[in-house]
Amino acid sequence: MSKLKVKYACQDCGHESAKWLGRCPGCGAWNTLVEELAARKEPRGAFFTGGVAAKPMPITKVDTASFPRMATGLKEFDRVLGGGIVPGAMVLIGGDPGIGKSTLLLQAACSISGQYGQVLYVSGEESAAQTRMRAERVNRLHDNMLIMTETNLESIIQSAAHVKPSLLVIDSIQTMYSPEIPSAPGSVGQVRDCTAKLLRLAKERDIPIAIIGHVTKDGNIAGPRLLEHMVDVVLYFEGERNYAFRVLRAMKNRFGSTSESGIFAMEEEGLAEVKNPSGILLSERPEGAPGSVVLASMEGVRPLLIEIQALVSTTCFGMPRRTAVGFDYNRLILLLAVLEKRVGQMLANQDCYVNAVGGIKVSEPAADLPVALAIASSYRNMPLDAKTVVVGEVGLTGEVRMVSRIEERIGEAVNLGFRRFVIPSGNAAAFKGKRAGLEIIGVASVQEAMEAVFV
Ligand code: TYD
Ligand code: MG
């Protein structure tokens, strides 16, 4: 593979082909093959040289104490990282433009430079003055915070080797280029080669590196998937740009759990922690309005109450319109079919709009039942009881399936004053929490749930 004169490579999986193909033979994706100008050199040498003995040894003798972590000054960020940044770790942060990736890393960089010594922040997107102005707003400036506006990776690596920073930030990998590769910055070959070089720097000199990566239209980090395999930690920063809420999720973490998530709000002075996200998300809820249902969702290992809204109205002409914001469109279509076929709601001539309020993305199956009930509530023009919380996954036969961590979900809702719970019957049977003063209704099907909430 190393001497192959590659002409085309897949942006998703890195599959190489001598001629252009509409569909990648490697991963089956369409239109992902892009031209590369020359054969690449495969990165030579070991990726992983971080003090690991080359000879076999019993696992019980392996020293685990050598994992000192650097706190980033943002508790939520530390939590997602598994307790802070590990020396020599490569962290990749992806997210939509304008979501706050640069702000997050700048805040962390300022804080780390104050505590642990020099930090090198390399920006290929903004000028040094712009970066300074932003840094002044988000944190106290320190002389240990070094800014460099450069896109040539060779000189970045030279500077980093000279400075030996406690953290190197690359904003963003798509603007960097390696002079050895003739293709343009952001191309598959460039991104891959630059990442490989940075990886070697991180592992050989024990410098932790945080890389910002842009995402493609469908939300993956642009460039080959290989990028995600090479780095130690992959984080996604998500949210709606018009709302203050931001969620940082770990997709891969070699030094911690991927079920942790961090919740931030974008404010005037940068990103801030959110103390009571559920309370804020529900603060503008129209109690007693048809089409509004409260879902007890899990954001990683953290419970989060989210309001689901649906609006159903008769289609004026042609095809009914269906839209979903913050919820999977195909899942919505499936739930409409279940409501039509299993519950007998005539929705074929109804437009249907579903929204997870607050710019939050709900990707859990536990949101199925709340969405179905919100649709039914709007269609029948009948509100649910305002102190009711709903969770449950819906199957194709209209059955309601169990969800994980029911105790945490109910606990969070009880803290916010909810007393009535419509949950899968399997979960109701297993629920061990305090029931005093709570009304817990176990339902086995969507039909049963409808009977429980619409009296
Ligand atoms: P930015 O970090 O530049 O996003 P990214 O690097 O992901 O493209 O953040 C951009 C947005 O954040 C910008 O629209 C302005 C907003 N913002 C604030 O609201 N408050 C702040 O203190 C900062 C620094 C940015
Ligand atoms: Mg940016």
* CA dihedral of residues 356, 362, 368, 370 (deg, nearest 10): -40
Residue 252 pLDDT > 90: yes
Top-confidence range, 9-23, 42-56, 435-449:
435-449
Pocket test for ligand 1, best of 93, 103, 242, 243 (most atoms within 8 A of CB): 103
Residue 431 pLDDT > 90: no
Does the beta carbon of 98 lie inside 6 Å of ligand 1? yes
What contacts 321, CB < 8 A, 6 or more positions away?
315, 351, 352, 353
Residue 46 pLDDT > 50: no
Mean pLDDT (whole number) for 254-281: 89
**Mean pLDDT, the chain, whole residue set:** 89
Does the beta carbon of 134 lie inside 6 Å of ligand 1? yes
pLDDT of residue 422: 97
Residue 425 pLDDT > 70: yes
Residue 43 pLDDT > 80: no
pLDDT of residue 428: 94
Pairing relation of β-strands 322-325 and 350-356? parallel
Mean pLDDT (whole number) for 137-155: 91
Residue 1 pLDDT > 50: no
pLDDT of residue 37: 60
| Distance from residue 131's CA to the centre of ligand 2 (Å) | 10
pLDDT of residue 161: 92
pLDDT of residue 17: 84
pLDDT of residue 223: 66
Pairing relation of β-strands 420-424 and 439-443? parallel
Q: pLDDT > 90: what percent of the chain?
A: 62
HEC secondary structure over 52-116: CCCCCCCHHHCCCCCCCCECCCCHHHHHHHCCCECCCCEEEEEECCCCCHHHHHHHHHHHHHHHH
Atom of ligand 1 nearest to the CA of 172: 6
Please state, in angstroms and rounded to a whole number, the distance separating the CA atoms of residues 294 and 418.
10
User: What is the pTM assigned to this prediction?
Assistant: 0.80
Higher-confidence residue of 455 and 247: namely: 247
Q: How confident is the model at residue 110 (pLDDT cuts 50, 70, 90)?
A: very high
Q: Are 221 and 92 in contact (CB under 8 A)?
A: yes
Q: How confident is the model at residue 11 (pLDDT cuts 50, 70, 90)?
A: confident
- Give the H/E segment covering residue 374: helix 368-380
pLDDT of residue 5: 59
Higher-confidence residue of 214 and 440: namely: 440
3-state secondary structure of 363: coil
Would you say domain 279-453 falls under CATH 3.40.640.10? no
Does the beta carbon of 103 lie inside 6 Å of ligand 1? yes
pLDDT digits (tens, 9 = 90+) for 318-336: 899 999 999 999 999 999 9
Q: Are 103 and 93 in contact (CB under 8 A)?
A: no
3-state secondary structure of 200: helix
What contacts 251, CB < 8 A, 6 or more positions away?
228, 234, 235, 236, 258
Mean pLDDT (whole number) for 87-115: 93
Does the beta carbon of 99 lie inside 6 Å of ligand 1? yes
Atom of ligand 1 nearest to the CA of 126: 3
Mean pLDDT (whole number) for 382-388: 94
Place of tokens 């929490």: 433
Q: Is the dihedral of CA 290, 296, 298, 304 positive or negative?
A: positive
| Distance from residue 109's CA to the centre of ligand 2 (Å) | 14
pLDDT of residue 208: 95
pLDDT of residue 32: 80
| Distance from residue 96's CA to the centre of ligand 2 (Å) | 10
Higher-confidence residue of 91 and 37: namely: 91
Shortest-distance Cα residue to atom 17 of ligand 1:
270
pLDDT of residue 358: 87
Higher-confidence residue of 33 and 93: namely: 93
Peptide bond into 172 cis (omega under 30): yes
pLDDT of residue 40: 47
Does the beta carbon of 266 lie inside 6 Å of ligand 1? yes
pLDDT digits (tens, 9 = 90+) for 170-226: 998 999 999 998 888 888 889 989 999 999 999 999 999 999 998 876 667 666 677
| Distance from residue 100's CA to the centre of ligand 1 (Å) | 5
Q: Are 169 and 121 in contact (CB under 8 A)?
A: yes
Residue 42 pLDDT > 80: no
Domain boundaries, the chain: 6-37, 69-275, 279-453
Shortest-distance Cα residue to atom 9 of ligand 1:
100
* CA dihedral of residues 79, 277, 407, 391 (deg, nearest 10): -120
Please state, in angstroms and rounded to a whole number, the distance separating the CA atoms of residues 91 and 32.
25
Residue 19 pLDDT > 90: no
Please state, in angstroms and rounded to a whole number, the distance separating the CA atoms of residues 423 and 402.
8
| Distance from residue 109's CA to the centre of ligand 1 (Å) | 15
| Distance from residue 204's CA to the centre of ligand 2 (Å) | 28
| Distance from residue 70's CA to the centre of ligand 2 (Å) | 23
Mean pLDDT (whole number) for 293-303: 91
Pairing relation of β-strands 322-325 and 245-253? unpaired
pLDDT digits (tens, 9 = 90+) for 392-422: 999 999 999 999 999 999 999 999 999 999 9
pLDDT of residue 216: 74
**CATH annotation of 69-275:** 3.40.50.300
Q: How confident is the model at residue 259 (pLDDT cuts 50, 70, 90)?
A: confident
pLDDT of residue 224: 62
Atom of ligand 1 nearest to the CA of 171: 6
Does the beta carbon of 102 lie inside 6 Å of ligand 1? yes
What contacts 366, CB < 8 A, 6 or more positions away?
295, 296, 297, 298, 391, 392, 393, 403, 404, 409
Closest among 128, 81, 83, 82 to 106, alpha carbons compared: 128
pLDDT of residue 2: 45
Residue 350 pLDDT > 80: yes
